[in-house]
A and B are shown apart, each in its own frame.
Chain A
Amino acid sequence: MDFRDSPDEAAFRADLRAWLAAELPDDWADREPHVGRWDFAAAKRWTRALFDAGYAGLTWPKEYGGAGLSPNHQAIYLEETARVDAPDHVGVIGLGMAGPTIIAHGTPEQKAAHLRGILSGDTIFCQGFSEPGSGSDLASVRTRAERDGADFVVNGQKVWSSYAHVADFCILLTRSEAGSQKHRGLTYLLVDMHTPGVEVRPLRQITGDPEFNEVFFTDVRVPVSSVVGEVGGGWQVAMTTLLHERGTLGFALTARLEALFGRLVTTARKTGAATDPLVRDRIADLYVDLQGLRFTNYRALTALVRTGVPGPEGSVAKLHWSEANQRLTALAVELLGPEGQLSGEGGFWGGYWQYQQLRSRGNTIEAGTSEILRNIVAERVLGLPRSR
């Protein structure tokens, strides 16, 4: 047990700090926090800089354009970038889900076609899993993929697809065997979003942002070479995606929570609430949540580095983070009092907390609802009988 950086990790951290200091504008640290989502074009430029400096895909194998480093380096990257509130890599879904899935199950051609573009930010992926009739019960998806010569013809509707309005490709879960039930007969496709018959309709979220979308597929022809894994074996491939979505996300989320906690402290000082014993108690309580998450992530990380599989304790990261994030942002808004009703001009930090607080309500729904995650902990970790 040793929580200090190894010499190699310390050097990586120092280099990264220096790089971030050089790349970010001089007044970056003094500016007010950014409200809402990053501008897409700016995020793409930042991603390109990350890529050119070798900071995109730190844990990806070198042969696919990654840096071939350990998860510890990735954790350092996430901590350091969150610490200075650097923008995120633009390809959240590509980098975190589609890419790892292609690395695990993709053909050499698929790897050659997609991985480098994901890292550089040139290829944006979206995730087409949820449907109007299939949310938590993902295995009930009905979007059809019918074989016709060298193609699959896709018909159906997906919903809540984040970034679909800017995406180049979609990881799409389809039913390729008519009449098949549940996990059987599903096929996982990489669909070019510019193919005729793909229609994206943005949906406005609780924050006002159109971040997720409905996607309609009408006779969309997808070449058979775009199947990831086996035809009919899409469920296993989708599970790899979800594992990465929920598992490796923990660190990024906790690092961001830490940055938010720092801003909560600043807000408490600025509003005068920092001397209120009740507020102090709640801030300390949130701090314990944050520290608990941080060190539980480290524990899962060491298990991953040592054994190749994350420890069971990692399964609680997203579950607990989402609820801690909701408590933290709600407290911040509460500290603003009536001013908390101003979400733009004249509002504290231009409505930063109001946006964060509203956005946080999605955290317990996206990437597996908290109820589903509790089912998973109960059934897979504790070994309790299935609830359904």
Chain B
Amino acid sequence: MDFAFSEEQDMLRAAAKDWLADRYPADRVAALADGDGRDPGVWRELTELGWLDPELDLLELAVLAEEAGYALLPAPWFSSVALAAPVLGGPPAVPPTLAWIDDAAGSLREAAGTVAVRCDHAVDGCRLTGVKRAVPDAAYAEAAVVVAQDHDRVALYRVELAAHPETVHPLTVVDGTRRIGELRLDGTPAERLDVDPGPALAAVRRRALALLACEAAGVAQRALDLAVEHARSRTQFDRPIGSYQGVSHRLADAYTALALARSLAYRAAWCVATDDPAAEEAVSSAAVAAARASVGGCESAIQALGGIGFTWDHPLHRYYKRAQWIAAFDGSPSRHRADLAALILG
């Protein structure tokens, strides 16, 4: 039994923290979130820093994901390392994403069965038709792995979004730092990937849930830090508000939820990394705890800040929205609890 990161992993964390704090101060994140969301150059920088190195194991990615959550990294890193790159294999040359949701499939599991987007075979290759929804970083990505129906089974295809910009439809979204959009495919050329979709999508799901749980821990930590800072400095009735138990006990509960969620997030990453038999249970447990700690933690922080926490100007709402993004990924906490109940009770 040894439940701590290694010295190298701790060094990776420290370096990531420094770079993120320097590259993405709150006002820069706000400008990006309120603008078009694109930060040219960051992809190359992430590549140079090694964040996209296919050699990174899941525990190292877990460390980066947590720090990315703390800084609200507004770059298409998650969609690449968690969703698309493992399917494509090798280091991604351009930002890739994964498109799995459509009228017939609402989740990664369903997408491994049947999807609505279909593949037609033309003389010069495959062509995809149909609408893929809720595609992470759709407007940022230059390539997409698309799950499509080929007669009676699904297969995975690569679409060059950069060559077919007309397929990409950005939508109005809640979280401006990780936008989802639609791919409207209409006989769009695609290259079929030589991967078995069932196991590939199951692996993506586990990996994504583990990394998002770590990211949620970072989000929750930042919200708690902002709340604690405020509760120490803000005075009402001649006392710092953090001395009132109505404030402090709620923050103590937020800390508790975060401590539990963080433990489960790390453990999920380890289980997925080592292909542990408990991996399915571990990612579901981590996802439930992560949503509680991050969405609930942000809500407690907003309350502790009072009016200022309710403004667009204060960064807190951006964390809240990211927490909600994470909680909504591929299901919901109640969906994950139903999965857990099936494992426990049959």
Q: Which of A1-54 contact B (CB under 8 A)?
A: 1-6, 9
Interface of B is mostly: helix
- B86 CB to closest chain A CB (Å) equals 21
Which residue of chain A has its CB nearest to the CB of B253? A374
Residues of B within 8 A of A (CB-CB), count: 46
Contact between A292 and B2 (Cβ–Cβ < 8 Å)? no
Question: Which of A163-171, A217-225, A279-287 forms contacts with chain B?
Answer: A279-287
Question: Which of A82-90, A233-241, A298-306 forms contacts with chain B?
Answer: A298-306
- A235 CB to closest chain B CB (Å) equals 23
Report the separation of the CA atoms of residues A381 and B252 in the bound assembly, to the nearest whole angstrom. 9
Contact between A378 and B288 (Cβ–Cβ < 8 Å)? no
Contact between A1 and B266 (Cβ–Cβ < 8 Å)? yes
Contact between B243 and A385 (Cβ–Cβ < 8 Å)? yes
Contact between A281 and B344 (Cβ–Cβ < 8 Å)? no
Question: Which of A98-106, A312-320, A327-335, A338-346 forms contacts with chain B?
Answer: A312-320
Asked whether A268 is an interface residue with its Cβ less than 8 Å from the other chain, the reply is: yes
- A270 CB to closest chain B CB (Å) equals 12
Report the separation of the CA atoms of residues A37 and B252 in the bound assembly, to the nearest whole angstrom. 33
Contacts of B261 in A (CB 8 A): 292
Asked whether B123 is an interface residue with its Cβ less than 8 Å from the other chain, the reply is: no
Given contacts A1-B2, A378-B252, contact A287 B338 (CB under 8 A): no
Contact between A298 and B251 (Cβ–Cβ < 8 Å)? no
Contact between B263 and A299 (Cβ–Cβ < 8 Å)? yes
Q: Which of B42-93 contact A (CB under 8 A)?
A: 59
Contact between B249 and A378 (Cβ–Cβ < 8 Å)? yes
Contact between B252 and A2 (Cβ–Cβ < 8 Å)? no
Asked whether B222 is an interface residue with its Cβ less than 8 Å from the other chain, the reply is: no
Which residue of chain A has its CB nearest to the CB of B268? A295
- B177 CB to closest chain A CB (Å) equals 26
Contacts of B231 in A (CB 8 A): 384
A-B contact count (CB 8 A): 154
Contacts of B228 in A (CB 8 A): 382-384
- A97 CB to closest chain B CB (Å) equals 24
Asked whether B331 is an interface residue with its Cβ less than 8 Å from the other chain, the reply is: no
Report the separation of the CA atoms of residues A280 and B341 in the bound assembly, to the nearest whole angstrom. 6
Report the separation of the CA atoms of residues A292 and B255 in the bound assembly, to the nearest whole angstrom. 13
Asked whether B303 is an interface residue with its Cβ less than 8 Å from the other chain, the reply is: no
Asked whether B345 is an interface residue with its Cβ less than 8 Å from the other chain, the reply is: yes
Q: Which of B251, B256, B263 contacts A384 (CB 8 A)?
A: B251
Contacts of A288 in B (CB 8 A): 264, 285, 288-289, 337, 340
- B101 CB to closest chain A CB (Å) equals 24
Which residue of chain A has its CB nearest to the CB of B271? A3
Contact between B252 and A298 (Cβ–Cβ < 8 Å)? no
Q: Which of A75, A299, A387 contacts B243 (CB 8 A)?
A: A387
Residue-wise interface mask of A (343-375) relative to B, using a CB-CB cutoff of 8 A (1 in contact, 0 not): 000000000000000000000000000010011
Contact between B2 and A381 (Cβ–Cβ < 8 Å)? no
Which residue of chain B has its CB nearest to the CB of A70? B1
Contacts of A277 in B (CB 8 A): 338
Asked whether A271 is an interface residue with its Cβ less than 8 Å from the other chain, the reply is: no
Contacts of B346 in A (CB 8 A): 274
Given contacts A288-B289, A378-B242, contact A296 B260 (CB under 8 A): yes
Report the separation of the CA atoms of residues A291 and B286 in the bound assembly, to the nearest whole angstrom. 9
Residue-wise interface mask of B (310-346) relative to A, using a CB-CB cutoff of 8 A (1 in contact, 0 not): 0000000000000000000000001001101100111
Contact between B59 and A1 (Cβ–Cβ < 8 Å)? yes
- B45 CB to closest chain A CB (Å) equals 28
Contact between B345 and A296 (Cβ–Cβ < 8 Å)? no
- B245 CB to closest chain A CB (Å) equals 5
Contact between B245 and A382 (Cβ–Cβ < 8 Å)? no
Which residue of chain A has its CB nearest to the CB of B225? A382
Contacts of B285 in A (CB 8 A): 287-288, 291-292
Q: On chain A, which size bracket covers the interface?
A: 35 or more
Q: Which of A4, A313, A384 contacts B242 (CB 8 A)?
A: A384
Contacts of B245 in A (CB 8 A): 371, 374-375, 378, 387
Asked whether A192 is an interface residue with its Cβ less than 8 Å from the other chain, the reply is: no
Contact between A284 and B232 (Cβ–Cβ < 8 Å)? no
Which residue of chain B has its CB nearest to the CB of A280? B341
Q: Which of B177-202 contact A (CB under 8 A)?
A: none
Asked whether A326 is an interface residue with its Cβ less than 8 Å from the other chain, the reply is: no
Asked whether A189 is an interface residue with its Cβ less than 8 Å from the other chain, the reply is: no
Q: Which of B2, B263, B338 contacts A281 (CB 8 A)?
A: B338
Asked whether A203 is an interface residue with its Cβ less than 8 Å from the other chain, the reply is: no
Report the separation of the CA atoms of residues A1 and B1 in the bound assembly, to the nearest whole angstrom. 8
Contacts of B276 in A (CB 8 A): 3
Asked whether A67 is an interface residue with its Cβ less than 8 Å from the other chain, the reply is: no
Asked whether A386 is an interface residue with its Cβ less than 8 Å from the other chain, the reply is: yes
Contacts of A249 in B (CB 8 A): none
B242, B260, B266, B344 — most chain A CB neighbours (10 Å)? B260
Asked whether B140 is an interface residue with its Cβ less than 8 Å from the other chain, the reply is: no
Contact between B345 and A303 (Cβ–Cβ < 8 Å)? no
Q: Which of B3, B224, B248, B262 contacts A375 (CB 8 A)?
A: B248
Contacts of B270 in A (CB 8 A): 1-3
Contact between B264 and A385 (Cβ–Cβ < 8 Å)? no
Given contacts A301-B3, A384-B248, contact A265 B344 (CB under 8 A): yes
- A71 CB to closest chain B CB (Å) equals 9
Contact between B251 and A301 (Cβ–Cβ < 8 Å)? no
Report the separation of the CA atoms of residues A299 and B240 in the bound assembly, to the nearest whole angstrom. 33
Q: Which of A72, A291, A301, A320 contacts B256 (CB 8 A)?
A: A320
Contact between B289 and A302 (Cβ–Cβ < 8 Å)? no
Contact between B251 and A268 (Cβ–Cβ < 8 Å)? no
Beyond A1-B6, A291-B264, A299-B263, 6 additional contacts (C-beta under 8 Å) are A1-B2, A1-B3, A281-B338, A313-B259, A377-B255, A386-B243
Q: Which 10 pairs, one residue from A and one from B, show the smallest C-beta to C-beta distance? A: A292-B260, A280-B341, A284-B337, A378-B248, A295-B263, A384-B242, A377-B252, A284-B340, A313-B259, A374-B252
* Chain A contacts to B: CB under 8 angstroms: 1-6, 9, 72, 75, 265, 268-269, 274, 277, 280-281, 283-285, 287-289, 291-293, 295-296, 298-299, 301-303, 306, 313, 316, 319-320, 371, 374-375, 377-379, 381-387
* Chain B contacts to A: CB under 8 angstroms: 1-6, 59, 224, 228, 231-232, 239-240, 242-245, 248-249, 251-253, 255-256, 259-264, 266-267, 270-271, 276, 285, 288-289, 334, 337-338, 340-341, 344-346
Q: List 10 A-B contacts (CB under 8 A).
A: A277-B338, A280-B345, A287-B285, A287-B344, A374-B252, A375-B252, A382-B248, A382-B255, A384-B240, A385-B243
